[in-house]
Every structure is written in C-alpha cells, then in structure tokens.
Structure 1
Amino acid sequence: MSLTNPGNVEEHPWSTGLCDCCGDIKSCCITFWCPCITFGQISEILDKGETSCVMNCAIYTLIYMLTSCACLYSCCYRTKLRREFGFKEDPCNDCLVHCCCMHCALCQDTDLKWFDWCVGWEGNASQHREVAMAQRVEGSMRR
C-alpha cells in the first residue's frame, strides 16, 4: 500500500522552509532533545512498517554514540522521502542538509500533513483504509 499523495509526479517545494521548524512546537522540542525519536517515526513510515520506530531509533542512537555521524544515516531517509513524495532537493544536497542542520531537516521531514507520525505505519495505513472505504461507500451511494 502506498500512502503517497496520488498523482503527484513532478517535484514541488517543501511546504515549510528548512528553518521553519518552530511551526509545530511539539515536534520541534522532541526533535531538538531527542532526534532519534523523530527519525524512528519517519523511517518506520518510509519503510512501510518493515522496520520499527524503536529499531531505527536504536540504530540512529548507536551510530550517533559511536561516530557522531547519524546524519549520514538520516540523510538516506530524507532522499527516500523526497523521492517518494516528489519534493525538490532544496536548499542543497540531502546529505549536506542533514549534516549541517540535522534537527531542522528532521522537523521539515515530518511536514507531511496527511501523516500522523506518532501512530506509525499501521496506524496511518488503517486510517487511510478507513478513509478510502468511506469514499468508496459514499461514491456507490450516489449512483
């Protein structure tokens, strides 16, 4: 199942700027104090539930503790997110964005309004199935 924005093929700008991370204070605070949580939530959804938030959070933390270069791991997911949802590579290369401004990049990565990052892949998948079913039933009732 794909939770992408259907029909959106061409690249478009991010809905927030890289330094607009204080738009959602809750996400901003969580990302500032514990970026591994935000990364875990992002990665679980991008991996479509094949990996868990906790596992990716632990891998991120381990990489950070051993090398201080967790940005090299998280930038791969930014690239995956950008390609999946058709965002422009802006303001520069994904790796540079995460290495120079990791907290802001993670906040920007969560700015997909049709996802509830806190409920994970299964929660989002079931919400989207319910919406699709309601639309299908509503459409059949009009005929």
Structure 2
Amino acid sequence: MSGGWTTGLLDCFSDCSVCCLGFWCPCVVAGRVADIVSKGHTSCFQQGCLYALINSYTHLAFGIPCGFCITCGFRTKLREQYKLEEKPCNDCCVHFFCHSCALCQEYRELENRGFNVAIGWERNVSQNPGVVTAPAVQGGMNRQTDHK
C-alpha cells in the first residue's frame, strides 16, 4: 500500500527558502533530513560533513559530485516510514538526475508531516512528542485465540 508525496519532485519553488537552501547548501538539507529520518541516529553535522566531503572529493577527482550516493538511502527510509510511492523512478536515480529537487522534496515532506526540520530530531521529540510517532499500520497482525 503506497501513498502520495505531499509535494511533487519539481515543486521546489513552492517554498523558496527550502529551494535556495537545497541549491546553495545541499549539505545542510542532507544533514537535516538524515537527522530526522534516522530518528537522531545520524547527526545533522555528521551527515552534512560526510556529504560535503564526498561531494568535494568526487567532484575534484572524477568531475562528478557523488553526494547523492549517501542521500538516496535516506529517501528510501523516508518512503518506507510513510509508505510513499517510489516515483518517478527508483530513489538513487531520482537523486542522481534531480538531486537538489529530491533533497528539497524530502525536506518539505517532513515539514508537511509536522516536523520542524531545522531544529533536529531531539528538539522535535521534546517540543512535540505526538509528531514523532510512527504512522499507524492498517490491518496489522491480529492473533485470534479460542477461549473455551
């Protein structure tokens, strides 16, 4: 069962501040998304630095920035957490061909689901515990027992 994203991949200009941040400082967006999606297991700073390091090195060495290699995994986790469709193609292809837009879409998705992405996982938990609960699974496992 898959649901739709709350914004489209190319809806970057629906929120100009996120669009600008994703275009000019994608390491910040990548770090913030990773922090929320990993539920605090990957820090914003750690992921942002890793992203910047990989992007810089691969751009200098091979002419292709490869930060998308580590961000597509967080897109997959986000989709799995909220039962989102894998579209328009698989997650790594989305990040390879439309990287800034993918990061911005993920950021907007988390915001639309009630997160203040800029403050990170820990502060979201302390300020609004209701927003960090997992979505309910419909038709979960039921165990029936006969009581005689």
- After TM superposition, the score normalised by the length of structure 2 is 0.79
1:83 aligns with 2:80: yes
Q: Which residue of 2 aligns with 1:140?
A: none
Aligned length: 123
Give the secondary structure class of the aligned counterpart of 1:27: helix
Among the aligned pairs, what percent are the same residue? 45
Q: d(CA) in 1 for partners of 2:4 and 2:130? A: 29
Q: Which residue of 2 aligns with 1:102?
A: 99
Give the secondary structure class of the aligned counterpart of 1:90: coil
The one of 62, 65, 71 aligned to 1:74? 71
Q: d(CA) in 1 for partners of 2:72 and 2:105? A: 12
Give the number of the structure whose alpha-carbon radius of gyration is greater: 2
Structure 1 gaps, min length 5: 1-9, 133-143
Q: For the aligned residues, what is the CA RMSD?
A: 1.6
The one of 2, 14, 28 aligned to 1:23? 14
Q: d(CA) in 1 for partners of 2:131 and 2:102? A: 30
Structure 2 gaps, min length 5: 59-64, 133-148
Q: d(CA) in 1 for partners of 2:41 and 2:11? A: 30
The letter for the 2-side match of 1:123 is R
